[in-house]
């Protein structure tokens, strides 16, 4: 079981009842530092003023939607932490919403109602297996490929792939480090 005690979470959820449910589930996992925001502007300020490891972001917010918030965090010049782990949480699990969220730069995606086991798995994935970040002309965010093909022996997949023998993984979340960025 992964230790979540040192992880700081931000819950961006405009529904106070849902925020309470998420908070209580996460407290059951041992999380102690859970911040909350009801709107994107407040969430942006919390991220700016605090070290946040993971943000749970509701897709349907009053001021702007979760996808726009993710794009703002990933791409704005004044973004306080474009490398933050983001889990999009929504009642709308249709393919279009999922793809928009991932294209915006969300690390993970969850459909409400959220089960404790699913939330735990997403949190642990963000902490124990953070994905490299990729920057292209149209995208900045976590590498969307879930699996690495260990049998692939061809040339590099990107012009900026690291030479063999050099680590290409980011450091562990929770220590204020930035993950590796692959540009291509």
pLDDT tens-digit map of 118-168? 999 999 999 998 989 999 999 999 997 766 666 766 666 665 666 554 444
102-122: average pLDDT: 96
Cα–Cα dist 99/107, whole Å: 12
Confidence band of 2 (pLDDT split at 50, 70, 90) = low
Model pLDDT, residue 64: 87
Cα–Cα dist 180/162, whole Å: 10
57-81: average pLDDT: 93
- The residues that bridge with 104 in the sheet, in sequence order, are none
Cα–Cα dist 104/107, whole Å: 9
Higher pLDDT, residue 158 or 80 = 80
Mention the CATH class of domain 8-131.
alpha beta
Compute CA 160 distance to the chain's CA centroid, rounded to the nearest angstrom: 23
**Contacts of 15 by beta carbon, 8 Å cutoff, 6+ apart:** 58
Question: What percentage of residues in the chain have a pLDDT greater than 90?
Answer: 68
């Amino acid at each position: 079981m992964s230790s979540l005690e040192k992880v700081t979470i931000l819950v961006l959820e405009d529904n106070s009842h849902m925020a309470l449910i998420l908070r209580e589930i996460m407290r059951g996992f041992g999380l102690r530092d859970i911040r909350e925001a009801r709107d994107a502007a407040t969430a942006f300020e919390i991220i700016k003023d605090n070290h946040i490891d993971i943000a749970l972001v509701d897709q349907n917010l009053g001021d702007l939607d979760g996808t726009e918030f993710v794009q703002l965090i990933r791409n704005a010049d004044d973004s306080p932490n474009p490398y933050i782990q983001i889990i999009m949480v929504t009642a709308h699990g249709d393919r279009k919403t999922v793809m928009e969220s991932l294209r915006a730069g969300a690390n993970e995606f969850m459909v409400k109602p959220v089960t404790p086991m699913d939330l735990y798995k997403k949190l642990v994935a963000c902490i124990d297996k953070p994905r490299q970040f990729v920057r292209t002309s149209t995208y900045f965010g976590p590498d969307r490929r879930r699996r690495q093909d260990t049998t692939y022996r061809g040339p590099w997949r990107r012009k900026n792939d690291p030479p063999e023998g050099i680590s290409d993984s980011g450091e562990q979340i929770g220590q204020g480090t930035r993950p590796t960025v692959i540009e291509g």
